[in-house]
Amino acid sequence: MIAFAELLERLVFTPSRNAKIALLRRYFATQPDPDRGIGLAAITGELSFATAKPGLIRELAAARTDPVLLAWSYDYVGDLAETVALMWPAAPTNAAPPRLVEVVEALESAPKSALKDIVASWLDASDASVRLALLKLITGGLRVGVSARTAKIALAEIGGVDPDEVEEVWHGLAYPYLPLFAWLEKRAPRPDPAQAPVFRPPMLAHPLEDGDIADLQPADWRAEWKWDGIRVQLVATQGGRRLYSRSADDISSAFPEIVEAMDFHAVLDGELLVIREGRVAQFADLQQRLNRKVVSARMMADYPVGIRLYDLLFDEAVDVRPLPFDTRRARLEAWYARTRPARMDLSELIRFGSLDELMALRDGARAASIEGLMLKRGDAPYLPGRVKGLWWKWKRDPLTVDAVLMYAQRGHGKRSSYYSDYTFGLWREDELVPVGKAYFGFTDQELLFLDRWIRNHTVARFGPVREVEKSLVLEVAFDAAQLSNRHKSGVAMRFPRIARIRTDKPAAEADRLETLMALVDSKPAAAVAD
């Protein structure tokens, strides 16, 4: 546990991605089994403990510390685990900090009634650094600036293999990943996922910039609509069926009707959408289904989903990714005609003869409630990652409003000491109404300015949230506005981000709610193809 705590602490204070990879590589190469595999599972989000919740930590801390001091300290620090780790008044003990494997075994098997005493004994035996790592592990709050992909790159460097090789066996393994480490250390062959429904790294597109457009030769490119859903990978093999998000999260349980429809043997790339009466619904409807471990029959009826198919990666056991896009598309069309899977259709290939014609199609995307265009070279193989020059995404221009900052909250991880999460509003008559939240889009320098401004202009506090003077205007960019009964304003923004700090503009001149309502994407998108 000491080595794991040291790793987390170093990762938090290491800004360089390459340096983070080096730290991870050293940890995985030097720590024993099964602790290193458990550490890997924790960092990649593969661990969760049903009996250990933040409420348990609050109860423990309240029993050992002054509740008022704890509340004020939590407000200042902005992170429960860090607050408790620093405040915990450890009792004298001769016990050593637990090993990672001891922690996991106890959290998975100990009765809930005994868990408080067990966790308290661990905290008593640990210093502040180890306490923080323990609490982060227990509550699932590991935010150290490391993605699962970064950890897999570090693993690949140990074995001298391509990170995509690690990715392609990942979902056929379970922690503590003993076969994975044995392969990377040349003690065993590469784990064979065989017919396991494993995730394949997706091919991604670069944003099309103005300077790239002139170099496009229309005859070389194929165009498709860019739909406002989520990118998914459908994997159906003899070993099972899985629906994965673009970031390799298994979302099968949230969309059982899609998994049921995967009565075939193939790996497909597509877009997950809510579809009603043959038309694509707003992204806000799809959000009702996301991040759910269990979905009710009522939810499935209210928010029916389907897949718009983009690409074919495996046709039964045949890997077709090295083939050109045109060839894969022909095979996809033949596969679809042969299989006719329920809840799925083919993405339309859009015909165009010139760049001007293509530009006109893209400019009309908003009126059709479509996010933009995807451009793919006809001769492009399906390569993992973001390979520049083969696929482009050409989104419609963002919308903007000038809003007034109303509330701020501390961020997480590296931002836990800064007020970096902002709630902003627009005028409705003489009242400011919250219309959205944003926590990105600004530079580090702008973050320092905003944090200082918030501290100097706070008018009230509500736990970790500060209410501020209604005097700072922020230009907020967003992709779409949609009606929502979950918000007091009646409208929700899609991907809001801070575009500019408008210190030059008085708050009274910020936009009104009617301005945002006029931008609402109220029409259903284009009909689903037959």
Per this entry, what is the length of the chain?
530
Contact 133, 4 (CB under 8 A): yes
In the beta sheet, which residues pair with residue 400?
477
What is the secondary structure of 122-184 as a DSSP string?
HHHTS-HHHHHHHHHHHHT---SS--HHHHHHHHHHHHT--HHHHHHHHTT--TT-HHHHHHH
Contact 328, 344 (CB under 8 A): no
Distant-in-sequence contacts of 20-27, Cβ < 8 A, 24+ apart: 20/145, 20/146, 20/150, 21/150, 21/153, 21/154, 21/157, 22/154, 24/146, 24/150, 24/151, 24/154, 24/155, 25/154, 25/155, 25/157, 25/158, 27/3
Find all residues with CB under 8 Å of 101, minimum gap 6, and list them.
Answer: 34, 35, 38, 176
Contact 374, 355 (CB under 8 A): no
SS3 79: coil
- Choosing from 152, 226, 414, 488, the catalytic residue is 226
Q: How many whole angstroms separate alpha carbon 424 and alpha carbon 311? A: 40
SS3 361: helix
In the beta sheet, which residues pair with residue 270?
232, 309
Half-sphere exposure of 291 (CA within 13 A, CB side): 3
Contact 346, 222 (CB under 8 A): no
- Catalytic annotation present for 186: no
Q: How many whole angstroms separate alpha carbon 281 and alpha carbon 298? A: 17
Contact 124, 95 (CB under 8 A): yes
Strands 491-494 and 480-483: antiparallel
Q: How many whole angstroms separate alpha carbon 280 and alpha carbon 306? A: 9
Residues 363, 366, 369: CA angle, nearest 5 degrees: 140
Q: How many whole angstroms separate alpha carbon 24 and alpha carbon 7? A: 8
The residues carrying an active-site annotation are 226
